[in-house]
Structure 1
Amino acid sequence: MAQQPSARFPFRPVAQLLGSNGPVHALAYSASPGTYILTGSSDRSIRLYNPSSTAPAPVAASNTITSARGPSVSTTPLPAGKLIQTYTSHAHEVLSLAVAPSNATFASAGGDRAVLLWDVATATTLRRFGASSTAHSHAGRVNAVCFAGAGGGDDLVVSGGLDGTVRVWDARSSHPKPVQVLAEARDAVAALAVGLPGSAADAEILAGSVDGRLRAYDVRAGRCVADAFPASVTSVCLARDGRTVLVGTLDSKARLMDRKDGTCLRAYEAGPRRNEELRVQCVLGGGERFVVAGDEMTGDEEQEPGAAGGAGGGGDNQGRLWAWDLLTGKVVAQVPVPWGSGSEARRKVVGRDGKPKERKNVVSCLAWKDGGFGDQFCAGGTSGVVTVFGH
């Protein structure tokens, strides 16, 4: 019997994943039971970690935690998760990752306009869907990738990119052309989600676009339904039953939408939180009890007087993420995300005036274990260090 997720939000850092030489743009847990974590980085590499098999951190990392219940501070160094494998075939930054239900393969996409299908065990690429030299590839960077197929299989790979198209690829065929191209978007496709078999979104592909639309494609019926939002859609997280979807937009809000009639059931926002320029992810977690989102801001930049738990900035532009109760919309935790060991070189950046400046640790990517029903999640961004959170 599956373990029931805790009703408490798991806001305590338990491990850090080291090794990236640049910001982390993509995270994905392995399929159930979610033992491993994949990370995709701007250094063009994908890394596979076991977060539970840890070693002591090389440098002590501050473990300051701020929640709605009050601050709690610990200076215990975070242990480092075990790096198992590194995958290198992308020519540019890795922007999206998806793990097949069988855990035998995974898909990646990035700035080189290609979608790659990998063999986990051998660290080799099985297929390359599109490339700069083919007429069938995306015309720009690929922002999102996911698996689809009958019975929740991995026979189809779906990708969405800067060219505004969603492309469906046959993972079992050697034919270079996509089996379907969905080109209704009027701007870049930033996020994708696919309904699970037997859910209300079975055989549907959801695509969030910078044109402010969330399009739901019913592949079987050949129908497209679009919902309009007041800002660009940059994050899409479909509930397991397919009846609701969490949509993140560039107006600093996340919205829980009813799939049946397109109504907004709840909006999630916090005064100090900002998401107006970058693709910042939001996910459902804790058995879909919580909404979790990253932040473009840090506690050092802006504080809201009287906010639950305070800003917890720590004075070093460390990142932060937010968690809301799904039903009430109340903030349940504001969690600082440390820079982590080995990220010192990325804290400084030279400004346009030629002077060194402190860089923000923008928390842009999230993943929750077991599709939102596990007891752990991870967060990454500018620092290049992925922080794993648990109880």
Structure 2
Amino acid sequence: MSFPDRPIAQLLGSNGPVHAVTYSAGSGTYILTGSSDRSIRLYNPQPAIGTAGTAAKTKDHGFVTKAGHSRATIPQGRLIQTYAEHGYEILSLACAADNARFVSSGGDRTIFLWDVTTAQTLRRFGGGHAAGVSGRVNCVSFAGEGDSLVVSGGFDTIVRVWDTRSGGQGAGAKPIQTFSDARDAITAIVVRGPEILVASVDGRVRTYDVRTGRLTTDVISGTAGVTSLSLTRDGRSVLIGALDSRLRLLDRENGTCLRTYSSQEREGDTKRPVWRNEELRVQSLLGGRERFVVAGDEMMGSSNTKADTEPPASSQGSTPDGRVWAWDLLTGREVATVTVPWGPPGAATSSRSIGRDGREKERRNVTSCLAWQDGGWGDHFCVGGTSGVVTVFGPR
């Protein structure tokens, strides 16, 4: 299986950066996106009949793929529904297994449980100090039998478990369980049966077994925060992203690091990171039926463009396009670097952003959120970021 680097659709409509994307559960192809414009959008990435454009052509250069997306038309997916109740940016989304409900969280310290069809909220949790939530909620996940529970974590360092069947709403609702062991913000949560895996900026991954009451702590980095978790389907290993420009595959049974994934370029006698994740919460995941390790890119410096085998026509460092990186899970070898276009032709220059100093800001598509169809076992994946456009990729 080759890495699916062909752009097959773009999802438009957001008025700000996209912070969260997720596929419908199972083998479904519908996509939910959460944006800084406070809205959640549901898309069918398949273009309407007669509206599909011509997918971008790509060229392979060894193990690095450089796609000339800006010179081709990418079909636009269809917006199905918009969900608007949040008061601040959306930071996390999760679909229930029956695809009838989803849960969202964001900067307003509130967790919303939604009915997909009616676009109405069924439950609201948090939302103020009365419920104990004192900061933005970075991550949410379903848990329990029939997805009857929701687990949340965020800036206030506390993991909370909410009962979706309770009658409480908003600030009046109380979590049925809390975990307060983290010493810094919670950035990612993964639930598997009775286990809750929690990533924190304090450099730890904590696993709570709610059935036995056992807590297991893995120290990932003493100085760099952990920002991303992706669990293998058998539950034996977990992919961990941290703010030291490294991804790690950890054996959950004994805590051994099985493989490290990074990208470096030689400059004389030293090596400088090319793929970079040092400041922002950039997501990583397992895809291609667990053949690939995939990550976004915070694009913090123009030197990142040196990884491209064919630099864009514009000057180096000025292109607004983002990128997605992929490594072979078993060997750790870099297998693809895929360009993520800012948007349709002309979108990159259609508006200007002015900084406090009065100068125009350099536009970069920081690719911070990813999702792979069917939990990493499907044929497609999507990526969102600061451009506000979500790009869907599939096989050639």
Normalized against structure 2, the TM-score is what? 0.89
Unaligned runs of 5+ in 2: 265-273
Equivalents in 2 of 1:56, 1:250: separation in Å? 44
2:235 corresponds to which of 242, 245, 263: 242
Secondary structure at the aligned position of 1:234 is classed as strand
SS in 1 for 2:131: coil
Whether 1:340 aligns to 2:312 is: no
- Determine helix, strand or coil for the equivalent of 1:227: strand
Q: What does 1:47-62 correspond to in 2, within 5 Å?
A: 47-54=41-48
Q: What pairs with 1:282-297 in structure 2 (closer than 5 Å)? A: 282-297=284-299
Q: 1:178-217 alignment to 2 at 5 Å?
A: 178-195=175-192, 202-217=193-208
Give 1:222-301 correspondences, 5 Å limit. Answer: 222-230=213-221, 231-271=224-264, 272-297=274-299, 300-301=302-303
User: What RMSD, in angstroms, separates the aligned Cα atoms of the two structures?
Assistant: 2.2
* Equivalent residue pairs, number: 373
| Distance across 2 between alignment mates of 1:51 and 1:301 | 33
Deviation of residue 354 (structure 1)?
1.3
What is the deviation of 1:90?
A: 0.2
Check 1:71–1:379 CA distance in 2 against 1; reply closer, same or farther (3 A cut): closer
Of the candidates 93, 99, 112, which is equivalent to residue 89 of structure 2? 93
CA–CA distance in structure 1, aligned partners of residues 262 and 130 of structure 2: 42
Give the Cα–Cα distance (whole angstroms) in 2 for the partners of residues 277 and 149 of structure 1.
Answer: 34
Q: Which residue among 104, 116, 130 is the counterpart of 1:120?
A: 116
Cα deviation 1:308-363 (Å, max 9, x = unaligned): x6265564221001000000000110001000127436864323431113221100
How does 1:1-391 map onto structure 2 within 5 Å? 7-54=1-48, 68=63, 71=66, 73=68, 75-132=71-128, 134-150=129-145, 153-175=146-168, 176-195=173-192, 202-230=193-221, 231-271=224-264, 272-297=274-299, 300-304=302-306, 310=309, 312-313=311-312, 315=314, 316-341=319-344, 343-344=347-348, 348-391=352-395
1:360 and 1:353, CA in 2 relative to 1: closer, same or farther beyond 3 A? same
Alignment check: 8 A CA contact 2:286 2:376 kept: yes
**Structure 1: stretches of 5+ with no match in the other structure:** 1-6, 196-201
Q: Percent identity?
A: 59
Shift of residue 137, structure 1, vs aligned partner: 4.0
- For 1:294 and 1:72, the matched residues in 2 are separated by 16
With structure 1 as the length reference, what TM-score do the two structures score?
Answer: 0.90
Distance 2:82 2:343 in 1: 20
Judge conservation of contact 1:66–1:335 (CA < 8 Å) in 2.
no
> Structure 1 residues 278 and 322 mapped into 2: Cα distance closer, same or farther (>3 Å)?
same
Aligned partners of 2:342 and 2:386: how far apart in 1? 8
Aligned AA for 2:387?
Answer: S
What is the distance in 1 between the residues matched to 2:256 and 2:78? Answer: 44
Q: Distance in 1 between matches of 2:78 and 2:135?
A: 34
Partner SS for 1:344: helix
Q: Which amino acid aligns with 2:236?
A: R
